[in-house]
Amino acid sequence: MNILIVDDEPLARERLIRMIMMQGGRRIVGQAGDGQEAIRLAEAHQPDVVFMDVRMPGMDGLAAAHHLAELDPPPAVVFCTAYGDYAVEAFSSQATGYLLKPVKQADLELALNQSRRINKAQLAELQQHPSMAANGRSHIAAKSRRGVDLIALSEVRLFQADHKYVTAYCGDGEEALLDETLKDLERELEGRFVRVHRNALVSIGHIEGLIKDSDGQNFIRLNGLDITPQVSRRHATIVRKLIEHL
């Protein structure tokens, strides 16, 4: 894996390089102190992953990431920053990771593995659904102890609201808290997720069917998920018609 390090602080670059080289199987192809230099080095060396600070003189990391996303093939971008309030902007630039300084070794290793996994997932998804790139994002940002993680929307079975939080439930048992509203998700993901209850959106592609309890209440069964969200009477007719056409 070829890696480019971008940070305006030489000591921060050196520390990150030492941490990366401790893992083996990685090669540092260059270092940059600002966004413009990062773009030049990325074009010259075609790194697989770019670790980049957000706040830098001249062209900052966010602007540079948008340029890097236009390369063919684009590198995975992981932001390393002391500031946690740039996450939404970061992921709008197609970043695959967001680490808070001081970066921990375990979190760095996870980010590297995640970057490789996300790139493969994105490629497979686009090959299966060529129009998906034009239909919004393929991943969603979620808070974690590391800062912010990315979760592939293709893995999400259920979005469920509970008070002020929305939880994403994935087929591998992973759960993640989101800083988004169910209403906004419903609007953005129309055609890929459907509302089944005032507190639940489910992935259309993972619907297996309806089950009914002794009280006559409907619940929806989702592939790879033990949770069976309730289908409200208000949404029952729409859900039944949808299932008939799956």
Within 8 A by CB and 6+ apart from 168, the residues are: 140, 142, 151, 156, 158, 159, 175, 176, 178
Q: What is the mean pLDDT of residues 175-187?
A: 88
Q: What is the mean pLDDT of residues 188-211?
A: 92
Closest Cα partner for 64 from 9, 75, 72, 209? 75
- Give the separation between CA 178 and CA 144, rounded to whole angstroms: 10
DSSP-derived pairing of the beta strands 27-32 and 76-81: unpaired
DSSP conformational letter for 224:
T
pTM, two decimals, is: 0.52
**pLDDT of 208 above 50:** yes
Domain ranges of the chain: 2-128, 146-244
- Fold match, 2-128 / 146-244: no
Q: What pLDDT band is residue 124 in, cutting at 50, 70 and 90?
A: very low
The CATH classification of domain 146-244, taken from the options 2.60.120.260, 2.40.50.1020, 3.30.365.10, 3.30.465.10: 2.40.50.1020
Evaluate whether 151 touches 122 at the Cβ level (below 8 Å). no
Side-chain half-sphere CA neighbours of 100 within 13 A: 12
The CATH classification of domain 2-128, taken from the options 3.40.640.10, 3.40.50.2300, 3.40.140.10, 3.40.50.300: 3.40.50.2300
